[in-house]
Chain A
């Protein structure tokens, strides 16, 4: 099986390394950019733009190994198309937020789609990474095999670090076969009933791969072999749901995300069954994705009050409205201390996306 190629494939890691080396020598902050589709996610970075987009191409793909290695600047859509041609997929179903989205940005942002509670997150499928460190050297962590526990797991550490610990140049991902059968369902039911039924279903091996409640209806996606999907569909009843619903949910195209509502948009991550209670919060008005573990809402509630309610419930809140002073939940003091130390060790001059996650990092 030959690795798919494109005329635009290029390896510019040497040039990228040189840029980083110079920036480190001069102490110049770098704003790392792939497709720049996720700039809204995190704090604004002041720095020289360092684009990974020229560094693109799939460097190794053997469907039988269930492993693909791909350069950071490769468009996410290009990778997904190559996998689809072989009946495979990225199981974490990442959002794109635009045609320009790259693989590097996907891994650095660490965002996963509706399948996450059942399949796993981005980090669960990262097997290895090449990273240009502050010295400008490209280093290899993890591997191109399914199992590898040699050395610290720096490839997974890079996921969601938003480029703050080094420049991702290539990642190796585990991929999976696409399910042979898929079907969407919409069941009218109140939120409390949806919670109870999801808890009950969770204790049985049902072929569920997405569950979201909104506006009085539970939306489900069943995936697996044709036999199990058909049997479950019959058992649960409800109306058919167009597959486009899950794309719209993942890409934030549902009404809650857009429109002219200018209240801040929040992503709440909570234990699946946790209640979120605070004055001015209405659970009924939220979109409950990930079987309740990821909730979306618009609210004028002050960040501190919302975050306190989330902490009480065992989770955290992220503000997705651009320009938020603190988009991510502030870290406890001891955690921040070790984050700073880690940042100082891996990026002593603070050149990689400084301040993107937190002002202190």
Chain B
């Protein structure tokens, strides 16, 4: 797709003179670091979705809440849009800058304000890295559960904005399940506390609404997360299969046996070979699929579960089952999975990571569909899944230097997401919509739902200044791109003009 903000499809934005905006903001927020020279702006032109790049008008690097407040008020007064960014590791272009907007970078808010081991909470600033929270809690035998694969780099503010997941979601939930309270600033510069250190708060559940809202409703300035006691023991089984469908069915069989694994991951042959070549994790390179099943908890229960899972895997037709003998081997099994993306990156000049979710029972059918699409587009696809919760990460291999291949990869990706929606799933399980999947939102939601989303946005940001062009498409955009998804000869949004 054309990544640039398109006023025709995304809505009109005021155009302001850069020098005028800079002067105004310098006055409004004394001491605020504002980058404006091209060479200083370059590092901020993309987030983790590096294929999409836009140079922002200005980059703001505040260090105090007062500066953020003054910046927001200043931008609102001028009608200048604001895109908030954390560590910039997001994979959907949610922090893609706007040419006529200010990029608000929260990375200098990186203090851990409090770890309370008795209350089992951590209060942190938004720029704190995800893993840093678990590291700070470790001396107390506690940790922060959501672990996106970027956890060494991604920041907790971005995790809240995207409702980030990880490999342990089935048992421990997403970000929304692990955040107790956030402090936010509205575009009008007002402070609000959502949630509480108690287990609930009066009024609507705005905390749930803000999780995953992609910086469209406010700016998160402080986060209180729940900490969990580290499991007493953790065991990992790796099962090989000669057929992807069998592996998929084994996943359902484990759940049907009443077991909720801490992690349940699946990789197909291409992903296995890539990971093995890179990490030497001891993966069986001949297998069509492997399952990694992690069981954690109290020793006696975990031992029972390991036995039961083994039995289930054998019945499901696993050709080989290995149990990690020690912590080092467990780490090695996981290293292959956690490095699957860079491993695939070594096989191909570029890759494009998808994030669709499906009901688990649809796995065999959707895999076949992906394989057919891969043939049709002539691009290889490696498959990595959070199998336990039906979250797929097909990786499309391509070479951006070849004429038209990026566009082909995007088109294939779009088809894969539509396949997920058609199977009863979603276009994104944990990476977010951002700019990347803005058109696919038209496949997942009808104009009525989109209108309701816009109404929610209007309650918090009536002028549409926070992260415009992301997350929720305009009806005009869906009229233009939704035409691709004509069902039964019925044109979606017939009431709207077409460009």
User: Interface size on A (CB < 8 Å)?
Assistant: 86
Contact B197 A339 (CB under 8 A): no
Question: Which residues of chain B in 262-311 are interfacial with respect to chain A, using CB atoms and an 8 Å cutoff?
Answer: 297-301, 303-305
Q: Please judge, given known A-B contacts A146-B357, A149-B432, A338-B206, whether A224 and B199 are in contact too, CB under 8 Å.
A: no
Per-residue contact bits, chain B 202-218, to A (CB 8 Å; 1 contact, 0 not):
11111011011100110
In the bound complex, do residue B429 and residue A159 qualify as a contact, i.e. CB atoms below 8 Å apart?
Answer: no
Q: Kindly identify, within residues 96 to 142 of chain A, every residue whose CB is under 8 Å from any CB belonging to chain B.
A: 110, 116-117, 120-121, 123-124, 133, 135, 137, 139-141
Q: Which residues of A contact B191 (CB under 8 A)?
A: 334
Instruction: Specify which of A87, A178, A315 lies most central, judged by the most chain B CB atoms within 10 Å of its CB.
Output: A315
Decide if A2 is an interface residue (CB 8 Å cutoff): no
Query: Which A200-240 residues have C-beta < 8 A from chain B?
Result: 202-207, 224-228, 231
Asked if A293 is at the interface (CB within 8 A of a chain B CB), the reply is yes
Q: Is residue B52 within 8 Å, beta carbon to beta carbon, of the partner chain?
A: no
With a cutoff of 8 Å between Cβ atoms, the chain A residues found around residue B190 in the complex are: 334, 337
Interface presence of A143 (CB below 8 A): yes
Interface membership of B108, Cβ < 8 A:
no
Whether B202 contacts A152 by the Cβ 8 Å rule is: no
Q: Is B141 an interface residue (CB 8 A)?
A: yes
A331 touches B162 (CB 8 A): no
A145 with B204, Cβ < 8 A, contacts A204-B229, A338-B186, A346-B452 known: no
Cβ of B117 within 8 Å of any chain A Cβ, yes or no, is yes
For residue B12, CB closer than 8 A to chain A, the reply is no
In the complex, whether A344 has a CB less than 8 A from a CB of chain B is yes
**Stretch in B65-73, B397-405, B454-462 touching the partner:** B454-462
Q: Give the contacts of A250-297 with B (CB-CB under 8 A).
A: 269-274, 290, 293-294
For residue A77, CB closer than 8 A to chain B, the reply is no
Q: By the criterion CB–CB under 8 Å, are A344 and B199 in contact? A: no
CA distance A346 to B455 in the complex (A): 7
Q: Does B475 contact A (CB under 8 A)?
A: no
Q: Would you call B428 an interface residue if the criterion is a C-beta within 8 Å of the partner chain's C-beta atoms?
A: yes
Q: List 28 A-B contacts (CB under 8 A).
A: A66-B255, A110-B200, A139-B449, A140-B445, A140-B449, A146-B169, A146-B390, A147-B391, A149-B433, A151-B472, A154-B209, A156-B205, A157-B206, A177-B259, A199-B118, A202-B120, A205-B229, A205-B230, A205-B298, A207-B301, A224-B301, A225-B300, A228-B299, A269-B200, A328-B202, A338-B459, A341-B460, A358-B203
Chain B positions near chain A (C-beta within 8 angstroms):
117-120, 140-142, 162-163, 165, 169-170, 173-174, 176-177, 186, 190-192, 196-206, 208-209, 211-213, 216-217, 229-232, 252-253, 255-256, 258-260, 297-301, 303-305, 357-361, 386, 388-391, 424-433, 437, 441, 444-446, 448-449, 452-453, 455-460, 471-472
| Interface, chain A (partner B; CB < 8 A) | 62-67, 87, 110, 116-117, 120-121, 123-124, 133, 135, 137, 139-141, 143-154, 156-157, 159-161, 164-165, 176-178, 180, 199, 202-207, 224-228, 231, 269-274, 290, 293-294, 314-316, 318, 328-332, 334-335, 337-339, 341-342, 344-346, 357-358
